[in-house]
Structure 1
Amino acid sequence: MISANYQAPVGAEQPKVTDWLQAWGSVAAVFAGVAAAGAAGALLRQEQKRGNEAQQQRIDDRQEAALAEASAIVYTRLVFDHGPNGISGVQLDVQNFGQRAVIDLDVVVMLRDGSEIAIKRVQVLPPGGDKVKVEDRNLVGPHLPSTLADDTAKALLHYTDLENTRWKKVAKGRPFRLPRPSAATASGQD
């Protein structure tokens, strides 16, 4: 126990006021150091939190930009050709109002009765809003109805952006990101 009545051992010099001040100053320095370390730790945690929030915001911004680009792919004018034996062809115009091209555009026309007509792949759909005609004028098959109004079908678009993300868009709806195939699936192994 420390008190003002401290007596030094025989033969030792008695503590002076400066000795007491130095001792209490050392104790205060320890507390100040602990407080400074706590403040530095709190500041570090706050900066890490800000960094994580900024990183998440960048990820969200990139995803939003990718969704905006994917949303810029639209089709117009879905028209069926009617021949003497029923439907003989289908055509539609696809436009890319985005700023970057998309690749591997697959178009499937979905009929109300649940049947589908796959149209050949368009390798590149350039940006800028120019219309690209997608058509199949040689449709044959028993699954096709003999007559069909142009407004009784909708198109399903599958395409890949330049970030190698595959998208699916049904009719005029919002596009959905498709999962990336696993390495085994992509190589054809199961």
Structure 2
Amino acid sequence: MLSAEAPKITDWMQAWGSLAGLVMSTFAVVFTGLLFRHEIRVRREEQRDAMAAQARLIFGKVLEIKRVGGEERVMEVMKFEVQNFSSLPIVDVACSIYGDGGLIAEGLPMDLVESGRKTGYTTKLNMQIPWQRFDDVAKGAWVQVRFVDASGVRWRRDGRKELVRILPLKG
């Protein structure tokens, strides 16, 4: 009677097959979950990339910094431009110019920059540049451009550095 109730080899094969199926199913579920997370991450990156497509084509550039006059009476004139290489305009543009010593000129407004280039000038500077250091500061000057693109997203680009999205304040 004992031999009739003992598991046969087919019972053992079925049990081990069920356990192997359980392990493989668990691996398949984990792999599917990881693949799902990866696809979500890729989709979000593509959405961010599409959102920044126009903004990546906006640059600011210092064209010229002049000193007019002698050491006592000096008028500093800066010429800069905002380059819009996209086909759509940007609005609410404000530029700040920085140099080695920090902020040189701040919040220089431009209402609209259509496709192409728009030049701006300023004679109102936040800092007096020493006559001896003027050439060094002029070479190292760069423009920070803050703007709103055609889709209504606010951006900031510091010189040729990476683009930064400016998030709205929650109030």
What range is the shorter-chain TM-score in?
Answer: 0.5 to 0.7
With a CA cutoff of 8 Å and minimum separation of 6, indicate the structure with the bigger relative contact order: 2
Residues 1:133 and 2:119 aligned together: yes
Residues 1:41 and 2:64 aligned together: no
**Unmatched runs of 5 consecutive residues or more in structure 2:** none
Aligned alpha-carbon RMSD (Å): 4.0
Q: Equivalents in 2 of 1:163, 1:95: separation in Å?
A: 19
* Aligned pair partner of 1:180 in 150, 167, 170: 167
Q: Equivalents in 2 of 1:70, 1:78: separation in Å?
A: 21
CA contact (8 A) 1:67 1:175 kept: no
CA contact (8 A) 1:70 1:175 kept: no
Q: Which has the higher strand share?
A: 2
Residue 74 of structure 2 is matched in structure 1 by 86
CA contact (8 A) 1:71 1:174 kept: no
CA contact (8 A) 2:61 2:142 kept: no
* Aligned pair partner of 1:95 in 83, 93, 103: 83
SS at the partner of 1:158?
Answer: strand
More divergent stretch after superposition (40-49 vs 30-39): 30-39
Q: Equivalents in 1 of 2:26, 2:144: separation in Å?
A: 54
Residues 1:168 and 2:166 aligned together: no
Q: CA 1:112/1:37 → structure 2, altered by over 3 Å: closer, same or farther?
A: closer
Determine what percentage of the aligned residue pairs are the same residue: 12
Residue 153 of structure 1 is matched in structure 2 by 141
SS at the partner of 1:108?
Answer: strand
CA contact (8 A) 2:58 2:82 kept: yes
Q: Deviations over 1:6-61 (max 9, x none)?
A: 7xxxxxxxxxxxxx99x987776565455444433322222221121122223334
* Aligned pair partner of 2:44 in 56, 59, 64: 59
* Count of aligned residue pairs for this structure pair: 163
Give runs of aligned pairs for residues 10-49 of structure 1, distance below 5 A: 32-49=17-34
Q: Equivalents in 2 of 1:142, 1:168: separation in Å?
A: 20
Q: CA 1:69/1:141 → structure 2, altered by over 3 Å: closer, same or farther?
A: closer
- TM-score, length basis structure 1: 0.60
CA shift for structure 1 position 3 = 0.8
Q: Deviations over 1:48-84 (max 9, x none)?
A: 2112112222333444555664442223452245556
Q: Equivalents in 2 of 1:141, 1:26: separation in Å?
A: 89
Q: CA 1:38/1:142 → structure 2, altered by over 3 Å: closer, same or farther?
A: closer
CA contact (8 A) 2:145 2:157 kept: yes
Amino acid in structure 2 at the alignment position of 1:168: R
- TM-score, length basis structure 2: 0.64
CA shift for structure 1 position 95 = 0.9
CA shift for structure 1 position 99 = 5.3
CA contact (8 A) 1:86 1:146 kept: no
